[in-house]
A and B are shown apart, each in its own frame.
Chain A
């Protein structure tokens, strides 16, 4: 009896160990310049990238069983990291990558169903993923993120730059960024908080918009939405001409002036007024979305 049990146990363990050989844990390191250009590709799983002060790229990969290899190669300033799946079997390719890069790097990431987490990079960021979520924090320069259904969360350091976000159904949250921002979504909701903007371009079909940030003098703010509701709070001083049009939506305006009907017989309201010196321009159009417009 005892002997039988022991053998069973041993057999079980042997099988486990054999399985373990198939999927892989790898760790690679490569010297890299301070201004490296890093591209990372991982079709499924996770990509975690952190900036550090070393002139080195370090990759730790927890690779799926059907992954053929983890590519890490360098050509001068450019460094490429790729999870390469075998051509025949590609079911088990989900892999987690933990990457450290010089903090001044420019980083390009692409994936499909990959969750992406990036922190403490001061170079430009460019991220493209289909259904994974994207979380970027402490970034210091321009950023461009595109997803189809993944949510986007981006927290800057108050730096001034260009931020571009593009999604179909993911939600977008941006905090602590200044300069120019452009966000397009179909049904994803948008939240922009803190920072001061010169150019704002927001476009949704049904996604709601919340904006609570500053608007610089001579700035341009454009919001287009078909059915999304918008809640805009302009923090600090506002100097702008407002031109707002809605077909069926309600407008609540803290700045004072009330909307007027564009025609006696058909729906449609417009609201045009000037606040402060009128140096900037705020243009809003919506079909059915409600709008709340306030100052801090």
Chain B
């Protein structure tokens, strides 16, 4: 075929006699897969039902031993401490994943940055609501959010540990500030999203 007239292309083909089209029609309509794919499908279907599957937080070894870590960050404008505890959340029905909880205390850290009281308040109230808000999302999405919040929290701890050695490191102070701000942003956005979900969806 060497004509480019697209409107007539279709009319050129004699489906009854064209060797290519005949061969194509004779190809097997079905091909058996090399293995049974049903188990994967069954698992996918189960996930869509109300089967909560909490993913473990998968903590890195930083927190393996510490029951409580208290950090002192000295700065020119005084001393501030951030207290962190490793908490086992008391959730009745599900196996608890390790979730790091923070209780930052308002005050200064380093010479440039200041963790304001309003920030701490906003954060605490969002955190208190977060569990409830997360319940409105699908188990998958909820697990994703928690994993990502844990990513930020792990970063916060890592930066804090580095700051313990270099309290006046401006880069670390800035990164820590950013991380707290990011954590707050994620929590408040999830809060906003979840509240737009009228009711729980099991899709």
Contact = CB atoms under 8 A, between A and B. Distances in A.
A–B proximity contact (CB within 8 A) = yes
Interface of A: 43-44, 85, 90-91, 93-94, 110, 112-113, 128, 130-131, 146, 148-149, 166, 168-169, 184, 186-187, 203, 205-206, 224, 226-227, 245-247, 262-263, 266, 268, 270, 285, 287
Contacts of B131: none
Interface string B182-203: 1001100110011011110111
Contacts of B194: 130
B138 A131 contact: yes
B171 interface: yes
Nearest to A90: B199
A130 B158 CA distance: 29
15 contacts: A43-B198, A93-B203, A112-B201, A113-B141, A130-B137, A146-B193, A148-B145, A148-B189, A168-B148, A169-B148, A224-B175, A224-B178, A247-B175, A263-B166, A287-B172
Given A43-B201, A128-B193, A130-B137, 13 more contacts: A43-B198, A90-B201, A93-B201, A130-B141, A146-B193, A148-B189, A149-B144, A168-B144, A205-B151, A206-B155, A226-B178, A285-B171, A287-B172
A291 B101 CA distance: 31
Given A128-B193, A169-B148, A247 B171 contact: yes
Contacts of B178: 203, 224, 226
Interface size class of chain B, counting residues whose CB lies under 8 Å from the partner chain: 35 or more
Given A184-B185, A205-B182, A266 B169 contact: yes
Contact of B203 (A113, A166, A205, A285): A113
Contacts of A168: 144-145, 148, 186, 189-190
A149 B151 contact: no
Interface string B125-168: 00000000000011011001101110110010011001001100
A166 B194 CA distance: 15
B201 A205 contact: no
B141 A287 contact: no
Interface of B: 137-138, 140-141, 144-145, 147-149, 151-152, 155, 158-159, 162, 165-166, 169, 171-172, 174-175, 178-179, 182, 185-186, 189-190, 193-194, 196-199, 201-203
A184 to B, nearest CB: 7
B169 A146 contact: no
A85 B155 CA distance: 41
B148 A184 contact: no
B196 A128 contact: yes
6 nearest A-B pairs in the assembled complex, by CB-CB distance: A186-B148, A44-B203, A226-B155, A149-B144, A245-B171, A168-B148
A112 B182 contact: no
A290 B107 CA distance: 32
A70 to B, nearest CB: 16
B175 A226 contact: yes
A291 B190 CA distance: 30
Contacts of B148: 168-169, 186-187, 205
B151 A130 contact: no
A226 B179 CA distance: 8
A251 to B, nearest CB: 13
